[in-house]
Amino acid sequence: MSARLTAADPALLEALTFGADGLIPAIAQDATTGEVLMMAWMNRETLAMTLAEGRMVYWSRSRQEVWRKGDTSGDRQLVREAWVDCDADVLLFRVDQEGAGACHTGARSCFFRRLDAPA
Amino acid sequence: MSARLTAADPALLEALTFGADGLIPAIAQDATTGEVLMMAWMNRETLAMTLAEGRMVYWSRSRQEVWRKGDTSGDRQLVREAWVDCDADVLLFRVDQEGAGACHTGARSCFFRRLDAPA
């Protein structure tokens, strides 16, 4: 199901800007529906794991540990495409979401609460 | 074109978690196409401005100033929906992108560089 991804441009990988905490934001978007599923963080190590394993591996800030998404829940995120923004300080992954969804609440997307009132 | 947004839940607004730097990530997604346009940052002040003005107002980390998106370029982002993630520490805005696009390079999305090699 998962596969090693080839870096299109190793120089681009090298040029990524990680924050002072060594982390970069990683957005996961459903490759089929376009739904934004979640945003979490990666460090250089878990980004390399993500690209090597073809599935999303985050760095958990709360637990301060490698967070191989889906190892506990079964809801893995298989990477279809990886993109970098203009400043090279945000990552966007288009993924196939396995299982019920991305969110630990059971919701498909972590963005299930609306801040503004629907018109 | 823009309009004041009503908070669906003022308690949710209060419950948002801003980082140690006072900032929260804000993802802008095209409300029509689902394309992820950019991710930048807001503080509590620019989030309030965003909701009050119905257009995206970021905090520029590089310039350390209020960044009312589109004031210079004309490429404003009008807010259609605002969402909060499960941990209340990331915001997702579904927007109508005016002008050429979101990116200062002229690209429609800031995510125009692919990190992995297309299969």
Cβ atoms of residues B84 and A113 within 8 Å: yes
pLDDT at B118 over 90: no
- Which residue out of A35, A85, A110, A112 would a mutagenesis test of the B interface target, given it has the greatest number of B Cβ atoms within 10 Å? A85
Nearest residue in A to B8, CA atom? A117
Q: Which residue has the tokens 């029509």?
A: B32
Residue A2: predicted pLDDT:
58
pLDDT at B88 over 70: yes
What is the widest separation between alpha-carbon atoms in chain A? 46
Residue A89: predicted pLDDT:
98
Cβ atoms of residues B67 and B59 within 8 Å: yes
Residue B4: predicted pLDDT:
72
Query: Which CATH architecture is the domain B21-97 placed in?
Result: Roll (3.10)
pLDDT at B117 over 80: yes
Residue B119: predicted pLDDT:
66
pLDDT at B93 over 70: yes
- Choose the closest CB to B111 out of A7, A85, A111: A85
Q: Give percent above pLDDT 70 in chain B.
A: 97
Written as six digits, the tokens of B18 are 């801003």
Low-confidence stretches of chain A (pLDDT < 50) are 1
Residue A76: predicted pLDDT:
97
What are the residues facing A65 on neighbouring strands? A60
Tell me the ipTM for this assembly: 0.94
Chain B residues in contact with A104 by the CB 8 A cut-off are: 86
Q: Which has more pLDDT, B99 or B4? A: B99
What are the φ and ψ backbone dihedral angles of A13, each rounded to 5 degrees? -60, -40
pTM across the whole model: 0.95
Q: Which has more pLDDT, A56 or B10? A: A56
Give the domain ranges of chain A.
Answer: 25-97
Chain A residues in contact with B92 by the CB 8 A cut-off are: 36, 111
Cβ atoms of residues B46 and B67 within 8 Å: yes
Average pLDDT over every residue of B20-45: 97
Written as six digits, the tokens of B42 are 């807001």
Distance (Å) from the alpha carbon of B111 to chain A's nearest alpha carbon: 4
The CATH number that domain A25-97 falls under is 3.10.20.810
User: Would you call B86 and A79 a contact, using CB atoms and an 8 Å cutoff?
Assistant: no
pLDDT at B72 over 80: yes
Residue B3: predicted pLDDT:
67
Written as six digits, the tokens of A74 are 């079964």
DSSP state at residue B70 = T
What residues in chain A have their Cβ under 8 A from chain B's Cβ atoms? 5-9, 12-13, 25, 27, 29, 33-36, 38-39, 51, 79, 81-87, 90-92, 103-105, 107, 110-118
What are the φ and ψ backbone dihedral angles of B113, each rounded to 5 degrees? -110, 130
Residue B2: predicted pLDDT:
58
Chain A residues in contact with B39 by the CB 8 A cut-off are: 25, 27, 39, 85, 90
